Amino acid sequence: MPPNGQPGAQRSIPYLDTLPRPLYARAESLGAGSWTPRHRHDWVQFSYAISGVLGVHTDEGSFFAPPQWGIWIPAGLEHEVVTSTRAEMRSLYIRRDDCLWAPDHCRVLEVTPLARELIKRFCALPVEYPEGDSAEQRLVQVLLDQLADLNQVGFSLPLPRHARLLALCNELIASPDGEVSLSLWAERLGTSEKTLMRLFTRETGMSFRSWRQRMRLLSSLRVLEEGGSVTGAALSCGYDSTSAFIAAFKKMFGFTPGELFRH
């Protein structure tokens, strides 16, 4: 079952012992609620959404890519990929030895117009494209160079490893419009609010207030992608003021809700 517990179409994971070339492409049209079981593979994966919102979940946290952003997944990392709405996804699989510069953690990257066109062109090539001093191999090298230079954005939600703290975080994620206070959390954990704040920051690298705001804004992406109104998205993630929601949304994503999905 997908992480949200809702039924959906399980996606197949391509069976590959090795990649036939340094770079391998996969294009998919995904239905609403598509998901993969947790898995890992011996190559780097970069997946981006032409339309729709991708979600990648790992033990370290969750990562979200609205349209024209992508998610970098290191080789060997166990993960699952979900889409709450219909989506067009392009995935690149890259041999470890051909991207030694790659970080060993998940991250969300902004796909530039040039990178987008290079991915589009590469997806049209045959799986076993010519190697050596060929136009196709030069295209691959330019594409890899462009991927290495993509800017990282903060569309991720780190999760604590502390079991009881993780349970409380999952409770908030399930109900982003909830008003559970830090003092109530502290009472439930049998500790002081100050101690809980220190624990939360140590486990996630973020303050509780910043984490909850990011969680709420990321949860609004699904509502907006499904065609919901900005006011509806604001209310669904705990904002009473639409203008405050729009201001916070733009500060995080760089666009207003309407601009983001037009972009």
pLDDT in tens, 238-255: 999 999 999 999 998 888
| Domain boundary residue, one of 103, 121, 153 | 153
Structurally, the chain folds into a number of domains equal to 2
Out of 7-16, 146-155, 219-228, least confident range:
7-16
Cα 134 from chain centroid (whole Å): 34
Helix H or strand E encompassing 244: helix 242-253
Looking at residue 99, its pLDDT comes to 87
Looking at residue 135, its pLDDT comes to 95
**Long-range contacts at 219-222 (CB < 8 A, ≥ 24 apart):** 219/173, 219/176, 220/176, 220/245, 220/249, 220/257, 221/53, 221/64, 221/66, 222/53, 222/84, 222/85
Judge if 92 and 191 occupy the same domain.
Answer: no
Judge if 102 and 137 occupy the same domain.
Answer: yes
pLDDT in tens, 156-212: 999 998 888 998 898 889 889 887 788 888 888 888 999 999 999 999 999 999 999
pLDDT in tens, 213-236: 999 999 999 888 888 899 999 999
pLDDT in tens, 12-51: 777 788 899 999 999 888 777 788 889 999 999 999 888 8
Looking at residue 3, its pLDDT comes to 46
Neighbours of 150 (CB within 10 A): 19
Give the CB-side neighbour count of residue 179, counting CA atoms within 13 A: 4
SS3 169: helix
Instruction: Give me the mean pLDDT over the 130-141 stretch.
Output: 94
CA pair distance 147, 150, nearest whole angstrom: 5
Question: 164 is in which domain, residue-wise?
Answer: 160-262
Is residue 123 within 8 A of residue 27, CB to CB? The reply is: yes
Output 188 or 113, whichever has higher pLDDT.
Answer: 113
Looking at residue 5, its pLDDT comes to 46
Residue 108 resides in a domain: yes
Q: Beta partners for 48?
A: 70, 90
Assign 6 a pLDDT band (cuts: 50, 70, 90). Answer: very low
Judge if 187 and 70 occupy the same domain.
Answer: no
Judge if 108 and 187 occupy the same domain.
Answer: no
Judge if 144 and 178 occupy the same domain.
Answer: no
Looking at residue 263, its pLDDT comes to 59
Judge if 147 and 175 occupy the same domain.
Answer: no
pLDDT at 139 > cutoff 90 = yes
Looking at residue 64, its pLDDT comes to 92
Q: Beta partners for 110?
A: 69
Judge if 31 and 138 occupy the same domain.
Answer: yes
Nearest to 225, CA basis, from 82, 88, 70, 66: 66
Q: Beta partners for 35?
A: 10, 82
Looking at residue 117, its pLDDT comes to 95
Most confident residue range from 50-59, 137-146, 154-163, 246-255: 137-146
Judge if 43 and 104 occupy the same domain.
Answer: yes
Judge if 127 and 225 occupy the same domain.
Answer: no
